[in-house]
A and B are shown apart, each in its own frame.
Chain A
Amino acid sequence: MTTPLIEIRSAPHVQGPKSVETIMRHVVYSLLPICAFYVFQYGISALASIAVVTAACLLAERFFVGTGTQAGRLSDYSAVITGLLLALTLPPGFPLWMGAVAGLVAIALGKALFGGIGFNVFNPALVGRAFVQAAFPTAIATYTPSFLAGRFTEFIPSSLAWPLMVPADAAAWLKAKNLDALAGATPLAKWKFDGVVANAIDLLTSISGNMAVGPAPVLILLCGAYLALRRFMDWRIPLAIIGSAALTAWLLYAFDALRYPNPFFMLFSGGLILGAVYMATDMATSPVTPKGMWVYGALIGLLTVVIRYYSGLPEGVMYAILIANAASPLIEKVTQPVPFGRGVLDRARKRATYPLNPGYISREEASAVTPKKRFLPNKPKK
């Protein structure tokens, strides 16, 4: 009798359908409509920016995976997500070479340094963005309005700047297009420096022309809802961020409506929605415990509003998320789940089919059986 070759391995012998690749691939799919809208807003400059930044991320990932110091591999799509998200946070006319620097730094400092996928402490896309924010403060603050005529035939001049050269002045280019320089300021900057509050509905759809805004928050929310329903993303974090930011903004607005903008403006301006749905939910850098997710999200929402209102910067989402990333191991530590049977033990649900004790009939009867507790044991009976 020949002995057939059989293997032994540890149970379970079946495995669920979800893998790292499928999760990451679906996140990329959900980002594609957002990128398409971004290109529709800003034309070929945006397209070039997305392509260059993503290519830079993939190049860096390829290099570090190749050196063998980093876990994971290229086909897990995580570098693509980093690249797309990073491109979406940069101004559309951001010089392409700077975008490439941002992409390389994002993977090198944000991910490879810590050991690759799963080990990073900070969201790599935001690390890249924080780096260029510090390195090129002027370029990253230079926005151009969306839906310009001829955006599909002509690059925004600053995009094509030579490496290490000062990019072309966007204001002069805008003037040539009969737009004032203020049109190139983001709604948040306008509010911060000029006290102009944009209409929240316009911001939500981002479709009415010539605003310097990112992709439409409503589209991001829809794509996020797809991910959350397919359970490729946790719904608690975005909800906690939006809820806590809205609550904080609303409290301040109720306190002083003249000084603070209305909460809807707060929610839909800047990168809050993009950050809440795509940046903060980065799995490796957010807590795993459900309670921790709420705390983490609430912290981001609060910090965002505080930074926006009380700091010199118009935008605060990036730093809020990075700070919360740093706090997330601690949050996780204090929000460990309570194991089954170790919490409050008498929380029998009302929905239960059978009473725990078959002798139990009514409360009166139960109290007749068990003597009432006395606070004063020797109290004389009346």
Chain B
Amino acid sequence: MREETGRNEVKPSMKIDIRGLVCPYTFVKAKLAVEEMEVGQVLEIVLDYPGAAANIPRSMEEHGQKVLKVDRTGENQWVIFIRKEKD
């Protein structure tokens, strides 16, 4: 069993900054990054497209990945943490 990761335990092994991108390229970029990672590793995504703040977590769950956290860090800025669950 994996423990649910708390705020201080999220250790991303990769970070992408996709500010400026809109859907669907936000998810496409995030998905390509996840493909490069090993199962269990965490991806940190910084974005500023409001639609993607909801779409990326939903699509990632649909693809079988785990959404650990969605933080709103500014009026139009979010940071999302995704843990890779499957290849």
Chain A bound to chain B: no
